[in-house]
């Protein structure tokens, strides 16, 4: 049986990526509106009532308004995946990171409303949440998170600035320490003490690395890097998309670039350890437009629609 899907905001970066990825998924029929009617509320409401699932690739306020319009359809309302940051910690929405815990994939499969994670948050939560759940990072442990992303994650204006040569080669941002991904990191990482998060953007189109440095002697039980790696490997055992590098693989990759997983929904996690100094660096590499955006949306769609 074919499921029908409408991407609201299909002309944006994430919408276009989702559309391209869904072209390769069997059992999906994409519905669309003519360009001149994409902001026509009446036309959209009519289409919402005719499809099985809607993916929102809209600015936050528009996503909130559209979600309300969909909910107002009652029994005719389609299921929803929101790719914006509008509903990531909102009541009634399921967080769309299937690898979060053993039951998250099943919860997504049953959900009427799923909120896609942010790209930076995806990496941070992937590194931290399994270790807090295992008791290897204390919930009150001070944690700092660094992240560098390709410029495609910043939308049309940032893309144009970098591709026209007006943007710098690299820049930190979110320096008020109030980045929009922080609420979901705080909610789903398992930490009670709010972490410090400083994102950055580099002069490359897509790909990203999220990193978390830790003092091993500041953690409960003073674990080794091997203990952290084993806990992460156990958490992601059997995962289709998230893999944990072995100690030998990480030792052979002492430089880490952000682009080799571009075009995939994969994530590779490394645990780099200096045993003598009792320090580790956790690192997650993935495509900010893949596992960090459109790839995650398609993964969630496949769970929800069973395709």
How many Cα atoms occupy the beta-carbon half-sphere of 143 within 13 Å? 30
Helix (H) or strand (E) holding 295: helix 295-305
Mean pLDDT, rounded, for 135-160: 94
Sheet holding 144-150, edge to edge: 170-172, 196-202, 144-150, 208-215, 279-286, 267-274, 242-244
Q: pLDDT tens for residues 259-287?
A: 999 999 999 999 999 999 999 999 999 99
Q: Which residues are catalytic?
A: 119
Q: How confident is the model at residue 251 (pLDDT cuts 50, 70, 90)?
A: very high
Q: What is the dihedral of CA 300, 296, 183, 87, to 10 degrees?
A: -50
Quick one: pLDDT at residue 36?
81
Q: How confident is the model at residue 153 (pLDDT cuts 50, 70, 90)?
A: confident
Checking if the pLDDT of 1 tops 80, the result is no
Percent of the chain with pLDDT over 70: 100
Neighbours of 256 (CB within 10 A): 15
Mean pLDDT, rounded, for 130-154: 96
Residues listed for the chain: 307
Q: How far is CA 213 from CA 13, 32, 166, 177, 195, in A?
A: 31, 45, 32, 18, 12
Quick one: pLDDT at residue 112?
98
Mean pLDDT, rounded, for 72-82: 96
* Domains of the chain, each with CATH number or no CATH: 3-117+293-305 (3.40.50.720), 119-288 (3.30.360.10)
Q: How confident is the model at residue 38 (pLDDT cuts 50, 70, 90)?
A: confident
In 21-162, beta strands by DSSP E? 28-31, 53-56, 79-82, 94-95, 113-115, 144-150
Quick one: pLDDT at residue 62?
95
Q: How confident is the model at residue 34 (pLDDT cuts 50, 70, 90)?
A: confident
Helices (H) and strands (E) in the chain, counts: 10, 13
Mean pLDDT, rounded, for 6-21: 93
Q: pLDDT tens for residues 167-219?
A: 999 999 999 999 999 999 999 999 999 999 999 999 999 999 999 999 999 99
Q: How confident is the model at residue 224 (pLDDT cuts 50, 70, 90)?
A: very high
Predicted TM-score of the model (pTM): 0.95
Phi and psi torsions of 227, nearest 5° = -65, -40
């Amino acid at each position: 049986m074919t499921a029908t899907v409408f991407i609201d905001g299909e002309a944006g970066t994430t919408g276009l990526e989702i559309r391209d990825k869904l072209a390769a998924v069997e059992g999906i029929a994409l519905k669309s509106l003519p360009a001149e009617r994409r902001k026509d509320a009446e036309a959209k409401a009519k289409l919402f009532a005719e499809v099985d699932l809607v993916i929102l690739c809209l600015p936050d306020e528009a996503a909130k308004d559209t979600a309300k319009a969909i909910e107002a359809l009652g029994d005719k309302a389609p299921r929803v995946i929101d790719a914006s940051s509008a509903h990531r910690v909102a009541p009634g929405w399921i967080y769309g990171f299937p690898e979060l815990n053993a039951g998250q994939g099943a919860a997504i499969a049953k959900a009427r409303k799923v909120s896609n994670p942010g790209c930076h948050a995806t990496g941070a939560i992937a590194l931290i949440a399994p270790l807090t759940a295992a008791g290897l990072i204390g919930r009150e442990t001070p944690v700092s998170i660094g992240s560098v992303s390709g410029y495609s994650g910043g939308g049309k204006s940032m893309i144009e600035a970098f591709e026209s040569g007006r943007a710098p080669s690299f820049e930190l941002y979110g320096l008020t320490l109030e980045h929009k991904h922080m609420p979901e990191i705080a909610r789903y990482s398992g930490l009670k003490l709010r972490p410090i998060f400083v994102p950055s953007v580099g002069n490359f189109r897509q790909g990203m690395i999220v990193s978390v440095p830790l003092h091993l002697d500041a953690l409960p039980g003073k674990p080794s890097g091997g203990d952290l790696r084993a806990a992460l490997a156990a958490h992601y055992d059997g995962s289709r998309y998230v893999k944990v590098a072995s100690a030998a693989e990480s030792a052979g990759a002492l430089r880490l670039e952000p682009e080799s997983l571009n075009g995939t929904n994969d994530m590779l996690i490394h645990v780099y350890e200096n045993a003598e100094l009792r320090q580790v660096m956790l690192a997650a590499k993935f495509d900010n437009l893949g596992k960090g955006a459109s790839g995650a949306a398609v993964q969630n769609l496949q769970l929800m629609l069973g395709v």
